[in-house]
Amino acid sequence: MTYYARTHMDECCLVFEKEHKYNIDGFVFYFGLSTALNNSIDTNKRQQYNYDSSDNNLELEIRAAMLNAEAKESVDILNNLPLDFGSAISYLRERKKMSVEDLEASALISQRTIYSLQKNAKEPKLQTIVALCIALTLPYPVSVKLMEIAGRSLRQSSIEEMIYAEFLQKSYELSVEDCNQMLTNLNYSILTTKTSL
């Protein structure tokens, strides 16, 4: 944009007025008003956009609100996550209000192993970290950070490890038992060796 155009906006450009109005459960919402800057424009003519409060749009609003809440939770966890693996597991377990026994049942990992991991007395295997992330239903970015803290990562060149990544992205939908069954069906090693309690 030229200097003249920037300093004489009312002569050189138009800004159209948009009025957004929608009604949800009896509440009417308006947003997005602006004015026309060119004096030759008939400001009595307006284009109206209506927000369709269909079930699909309401579902999208609910999903958007859920995504926002999940993002806030991820940021909060990442900002408070201790930087050693044992403390991080303890913090995440306590945040999820899970006892060691609960985590044992969900992750299919023995209490002894969990205590050893929390004390940093044992270096975690990648499969163990994945099982813990799924059992704790961690958001994907938190799972990646937990692996990073443990000095691990998922190799993009490994089909098995990309399957782990898919599991982690669906941790809210899957149990460790589900993952173990899928891995068995695909002829891969299971995440944890403790198959029943």
Which tens digit of pLDDT belongs to each residue from 56-105?
A: 667 888 888 888 999 999 999 999 999 999 999 999 999 999 999 999 99
Q: Are residues 80 and 138 in the same domain?
A: yes
pTM comes to 0.69
Instruction: Residue 109: name the closest of 88, 135, 87, 86 by CA.
Output: 135
The CATH number assigned to the domain holding 113 equals 1.10.260.40
DSSP 187: T
Q: Are residues 159 and 94 in the same domain?
A: yes
Summarize pLDDT for 126-158 with one digit per residue, the tens.
999 999 999 999 999 999 999 999 999 999 999
Q: Are residues 93 and 32 in the same domain?
A: no
Strand partners, 20: 31, 49
Q: Are residues 97 and 42 in the same domain?
A: no
Sign of CA dihedral 130, 134, 139, 142: negative
Could you tell me the residue range of the domain that residue 177 belongs to? 71-185
Tell me whether residue 126 is in a domain. Answer: yes
The side-by-side arrangement of strands in the sheet containing 18-24 is 27-31, 18-24, 47-50
Tell me whether residue 191 is in a domain. Answer: no
Q: Are residues 88 and 168 in the same domain?
A: yes
Tell me whether residue 61 is in a domain. Answer: no
Residue type, 178: D
Number of domains within the chain: 2
Q: Are residues 121 and 176 in the same domain?
A: yes
